[in-house]
Amino acid sequence: MSTATAQRGLRLWRRARSRRGPNTALLLGPSVIFLLLWMIVPLALTLYFSLRRYNLLMPARRGFVGFHQYANLLSSGSFWTSLYNTIVLVAACLVLTVVVGLALALLFDNEFFGRGVARTLVISPFFVMPVVTALIWKNMLMHPVYGLFAALYKALGLKPVDWLAAYPMPSIIAMISWEWVPFALLVLLTGLQSLPNEEMEAASLDGANGWQKFRFITVPHLGQTIYVVIMLESIFFLTKFAEIYATTSGGPGMATTNLPYLIFLESFFQYDIGTASAIAIFAVILANIVAIFLVRFVARNLAEGAQA
């Protein structure tokens, strides 16, 4: 009797295992290993070089220096300037993209003639390559001689402005925001279209005006969507390089040098791989601090919304 019971249990176990399908660990294993190699190996090498004096022009002076390069960075004016520029760039682009993207999402959530064509035109900047975006703004819009802005100034009887020389950081912020407003628009418009019409109709019956409906219904409904936009855009804005490289080259002086561009300067102009690696570690730490803060903020708000 015990042998028959054991065999029957074994058959049931095999049947249940076959129903569960293939082993997910075997399916996910190659991709997880590739992802770890793709991230961990470069990060480990960067950390290794950050602890060594490693200048390609001075091979005889290479050696282990520990945290000496990190200490030098903390006393370096160029590092703090680039860190400040990075924070200003990220914060300003976030404000512009979220505000303008929300305004456009509210506009395109309504029916009007030509909405499909207008939406396609508004979204199109997101599909332009960053270097092309920079060259368009530099040569076709902001050029002080034959740019569009210069032509408008001349038509109004004003003296044209060399935007990239007089206002370098606002110019970089403008072109990056122009490039990323469509992303915020698409995500926020998706969130708006999930808003039930019954809530708006009930608010109208209660006598709420447009501002009250926007403040007490639309914004709370889009709360999680806005957090997602901020989180994703923050990570991308922290790594911006192409627009700066193709327009100002970090100048005038260091007016538009952010952390990625400072890493580029140390690596390919000074050939100081050790210092560049130390700056890269600081950039990784900054990106992780921002990501962890935003993820926890979103998770906390999701938990509060579920409890409510």
- pLDDT value at position 63? 86
Query: What pLDDT does 244 receive?
Result: 95
Q: Residue 217's pLDDT is what?
A: 84
Contact 61, 52 (CB under 8 A): no
Q: What is the pLDDT of residue 93?
A: 95
63 DSSP 8-state letter: E
* Maximal C-alpha separation, the chain: 104
Residue 192 lies in a domain: yes
Q: Residue 42: inside a domain, yes or no? A: no
The Cα–Cα gap between 172 and 255 comes to 11
> What is the per-residue pLDDT for 32?
82
Is 3 a domain residue?
no
Report pLDDT for 33: 86
Amino acid sitting at position 137: W
Residue 11: predicted pLDDT = 67
- CATH code (residue 203): 1.10.3720.10
Average pLDDT, consecutive stretches of 10 residues, N- to C-terminus, the chain (308 residues)? 60 61 72 84 90 86 86 90 94 94 91 86 90 93 91 92 93 95 93 83 80 84 86 90 93 92 92 92 87 73 57
Question: What is the number of structural domains in the chain?
Answer: 1
Q: Determine the structural domain holding residue 150 and report its residue range.
A: 70-307
User: Is 30 domain-assigned?
Assistant: no
The span from the CA of 96 to the CA of 113, in Å, is 27
| Residue in this structure with the two tokens 């512009």, named with its chain if needed | 96
Q: Is residue 10 part of a domain?
A: no
Whether 65 is in a domain gets the answer no
Q: What is the spatial distance between Cα 270 and Cα 257, in angstroms, rounded to a whole number? A: 15
Tokens of 256: 């538009």
**pLDDT for position 1:** 46
